Amino acid sequence: MADGFVVRLLVVLAAAGVVAAVAGFRPKRPRNPLYVEGNLDGPGVYLFTAAGCDACDAARLAYREVLGESGFTERSWEEHPDLLTRVGVDEIPVGAVVGADGRQVASFVQVPRPMALRRAVRKMRA
C-alpha cells in the first residue's frame, strides 16, 4: 500500500518537473500586450531600450547577431519616451516583431533566444 503511494508521488513530482522545465524554455512575453498597430513605422523588428541598461546591451547584441546591424529598429526611452509610452512598454528591454498588417507577431522581454527570434521573423515574413 505504501509502495503504491510512493510510486504515485514520484510520478506526480516527475510530471511537475517536466512542466517546470518546459515553462522555463518558453520565450518571455511582456506582461501587458504592446500596442504596436498604428504606433510604429511599419513591419519589422523593434527593440525598445534605455541608456545604462546592461540587459539592453545584451539584447542589442543578440538582435545584431541574429538580424545584423540593420535588421532591426531600436527605439530608446531617452529619445522616444512618448512612443514607448504609447506602445505600452512597461519594462525594458522589450522587442516586438510586427507583420505586414501592422499587428504584433511576437514579443520578447529581456534577451530572446536566437531560435525564437528567427522563428518570429520567419512568421513576420510569411
The domain that holds 102 is classified in CATH as: 3.40.30.10
* Within a domain: 51: yes
pLDDT at 121 over 80: yes
For residue 76, the model assigns a pLDDT of 96
* Within a domain: 116: yes
Average pLDDT of the chain to the nearest whole number: 85
pLDDT at 27 over 60: no
* Within a domain: 14: no
Query: pLDDT tens digits, residue range 37-62?
Result: 888 988 999 999 999 999 999 999 99
How far from 83 is each of 11, 18, 62, 98, CA to CA, in Å? 49, 40, 23, 15
Q: What is the domain range of residue 112?
A: 28-125
For residue 3, the model assigns a pLDDT of 73
* Within a domain: 7: no
Q: Report the alpha-carbon distance of residue 117 to residue 94 in Å, rounded.
A: 12
Q: Which three cell numbers stand for residue 7?
A: 510510486
pTM for the whole structure? 0.75
For residue 21, the model assigns a pLDDT of 55
* Within a domain: 1: no
**19-43 exposure pattern, b = at least 16 Cβ within 10 A, e = fewer:** eeeeeeeebeebeeebebeebbeeb
- β-partners of residue 125 are none
* Within a domain: 80: yes
* Within a domain: 11: no
Task: Output 4 or 35, whichever has higher pLDDT.
Answer: 35
The count of domains in the chain is 1
Task: Output 80 or 38, whichever has higher pLDDT.
Answer: 80
